[in-house]
A = this chain, B = another copy of it.
């Protein structure tokens, strides 16, 4: 391993000058810069990050905490965060909490030890641990997709209530009158979507949709829908609004298993527009949120906060959503009650 001292010696200058030739933070004569560059190339010199970190007090590392990177929603988020990180010369440490408390505590220690300069935190469950909030206090944090630590933290979210409303208006326009909502109770984002849907529904003087709880997963959607159907596979609804796509897909699976066709018998609307929403047959009608953008902007804000040594402004940034109509919704064919 070449050190800065070696480079300096071979180039006949001081380590200080080598450092500045590299960083450009101080004027260096063209002649000197060239000679230094030559020696560096020859030695394949690259400054050691560990030493830079100690000297500067930073790590050029961002932490991204997500509940499940296998959910392509969070994978897309990660790509947005990474892009912003790269643009600013940072790298990204992926922390997949996997809904595991022990794992989260481990990552807290990572944060406490200042292994990263800041954190983008996408919470996956309603319960946020006090330890998390406390530890995060020591370095800048921005919340994405889910607000959990109270209003005092900078957050980037989609317009969830509006998304719920869009889904409802679409189904109402197709003549549906009876709907069920599949939602993960307690998760703010899910609750907001369900509420937006419900509000729009009743504002049209339609019967209040029943809310059925379930995890934010494929299996969660499958199980939730199972709870919605009667013992003889009889249903009293013609539309299903799932507060995320994975749940919607799970629900569709269950519907098909009991012999109900989508969209002929039941229309289904999801939320997120993850990449597989367009791959199913029929394609899933859903509310699209630009999660890449969410991650990108969140990371940008985080980096700005790090670079200026100011905590991220405690603002709530809300991004618009969009209804994507595919094949899982159609005109209501069932008789009105």
Q: Name A's B-contacting residues (CB within 8 A).
A: 1, 44, 46-51, 53-54, 57, 59-61, 64, 69-70, 72, 75-76, 78-79, 82, 86, 91-96, 98, 103, 106, 109-110, 112-115, 218, 249-250, 252-253, 256, 275-276, 279-281
* B91 and A92 contacting across the interface, CB-CB below 8 Å: no
**Min C-beta distance of A19 to chain B, whole Å:** 14
The 8 closest A-B pairs by CB, nearest first: A50-B53, A94-B94, A46-B112, A49-B115, A70-B75, A50-B54, A49-B113, A69-B75
Instruction: Please give me the residue from chain B that is nearest to A76 by CB atom.
Output: B70
Residue numbers in B under 8 Å from A279 (CB-CB):
218, 249-250, 253, 276, 280
**Min C-beta distance of A322 to chain B, whole Å:** 20
Oligomeric state, in number of copies?
2
Do A50 and B59 form a contact, CB below 8 Å, given A78-B96, A79-B96?
yes
Residue numbers in B under 8 Å from A249 (CB-CB):
279
- A249–B281 Cα gap in the complex (Å)? 10
Residue numbers in B under 8 Å from A57 (CB-CB):
50
Known: A70-B75, A249-B279. 18 other contacts (CB 8 A): A44-B112, A46-B109, A47-B113, A48-B54, A49-B59, A49-B114, A49-B115, A54-B54, A70-B79, A72-B72, A72-B75, A79-B96, A93-B94, A94-B94, A218-B279, A250-B279, A253-B279, A280-B280
**Min C-beta distance of A276 to chain B, whole Å:** 5
Residue numbers in B under 8 Å from A61 (CB-CB):
93
* A86 and B106 contacting across the interface, CB-CB below 8 Å: yes
